Amino acid sequence: MAWAFLFISLSSYLNLSMEIGAFLAGLGLASVPYSRELQERVRPLTDLFMAIFFVNFGIGITGGSLNTYFFEAVVASVVLMAAKFVIFFLTIDRFKFTPETSFRASVNMGQISEFGLILMSLAITRGYVEQEVSGFISMVAILTMGSSAYLMRDKDYLEQKVQPVLDFFKSEEKQDVDVERLEDHVVVIGYEENTKRLCRKLSENHQVLVVDDDPTNTEELAESDYEYIYGDFKHGEIREGANLQKAKYIISFSKEKQVSKAVLDNSNRETVTIVRADNFEDASELYDIGADYVIMENILAGNRISEYLELYLEDREVFLDEAEAELDYIRDEEK
């Protein structure tokens, strides 16, 4: 918020609008590793102010203004959606994408955007157009957005119907860009001392993605060979970025029960899930939900101590060697 107001104040000093200042502040924050988390944290404010804007915009529109240009709005909507489809289809096709991709992308771009309403509101405020025109634009928005919702929902069916037409645009040189996405990877949630050794071991055979919200680890993770997302795993954007459905293993060291449940709710059935619990009740519940293994530190520590005591009674020298090895590891980690 301080960063945003800094740029807003600067833009005001330079006789620019505060919207420009806020936009520049957003550009400045886009490059930091915390950008995903920031998007999630400001999302409630974004939704609130968007809702207030559209309520304010709707208050100025009367039923009469909507009906005044109804026929014109219908004609404009049909022409607009058809023209946008043709323009986008031919443009995407020119970049040598497959006809199916060109079709799907063009269907998704049929409606006018909310930004059109914002521009119209600004034009009315400045006196460039009459208030009645807002009814025309609003009706176009209602018609195009409503129609596009059904077109996007049924685009697979529509694609099958127009497949003979799409076949005319096919050629061997047209192909889609192979977007690299994480697949068969390991997602590790929480980066702490007992996680680092695990990540190093896993990275020998798998691609490791670390999700962590501790800012003190940012620099270390940015310089590591791991994929890295800064943010709270409870946020939907963070989980989507981790591509949990394609992960081979998901290992969570978070103590939050909500995080463990989010792992199990969003993972594939074939994915091996390991989560953490602080008590037997939570552990039992997580196993019932579908966890493959639940980490309980008190049980692991107790078993480890029991093993050490048995080892001490059987062979004191081996016990001392084990203790010395762990001491060496601790000192290496301190460095």
Domain boundaries, the chain: 2-167, 186-314
186-314: CATH topology is Rossmann fold (3.40.50)
First to last CA, the chain: 37
What residues form DSSP beta bridges with 252?
A: 189
DSSP string, 294-330: EE-HHHHHHHHHHHHHHHHHH-HHHHHHHHHHHHHHH
0.75 exceeded by pTM = no
List the structure tokens of 287. Answer: 């196993």
How many Cβ atoms from other residues are within 10 Å of residue 332's Cβ? 8
Question: What is the DSSP secondary structure assignment for residue 60, as one 8-state letter?
Answer: T
Average pLDDT over residues 47-59: 80
Confidence check: pLDDT of 64 > 70: no
Beta strand spans in 133-237 (E) = 186-189, 208-212, 227-230
206 vs 253: CA distance, rounded Å: 19
In sequence order, what are the residues at sequence separation of 6 or more whose Cβ sits closer than 8 angstroms to the Cβ of residue 135?
A: 61, 62, 64, 65, 66, 67, 68, 69
How many Cβ atoms from other residues are within 10 Å of residue 173's Cβ? 5
Which SS3 state, helix, strand or coil, does residue 271 take? coil
What does the pLDDT look like over 154-212, one tens digit per residue?
A: 988 888 888 888 888 888 777 765 545 678 898 999 888 777 878 888 888 888 899 98
CB 273 within 8 A of CB 291: yes
